Amino acid sequence: MTALGTAGGEQVSKYWKTYQLVLVTNFHDFVLVGKDDKGKPFNLETYHLGTSDADFWTRTLHPKDFQKEKGATFSEIFTPHNAPGAPVSSPKDLAWFLAFTHVLQVPI
């Protein structure tokens, strides 16, 4: 199943009700589900690191080439300005967010 298909599922809906921001992935597809101007779930961003599982895993055999091709745009879509209104309601949430942002900036 694609990440886009999963984004409309029950599990994502449960997380969304709590956080209003959910990153859905199957390794090669990513969907960032936030909320629209009416407060309803909305796909803020989608990103594809490959056209299929096989394509993704083939690309990982050459990580430096893969990073040059996809790294910058991948990091850019998951920055704070693409997640307006994301709740940071506890120190644990803030620590997770800062760690996640740092990981995206580490070169391969």
pLDDT tens, residue by residue, 29-79: 888 888 888 989 988 888 888 888 899 899 889 888 888 887 766 666 666
Task: Report in angstroms the alpha-carbon separations of 94 from 36, 91, 97, 101.
Answer: 23, 5, 5, 11
Longest dimension (CA), the chain: 43
> What residue type is assigned to position 9 of the chain?
G
Q: How confident is the model at residue 101 (pLDDT cuts 50, 70, 90)?
A: low
| Domain boundaries, given as residue ranges, for the chain | 3-105
pLDDT higher than 50, residue 106: no
> What residue type is assigned to position 15 of the chain?
Y
Radius of gyration for the chain, computed over Cα atoms and rounded to the nearest angstrom: 15
Element containing residue 43 per DSSP (H, E): strand 41-48
- pTM (two decimals): 0.66
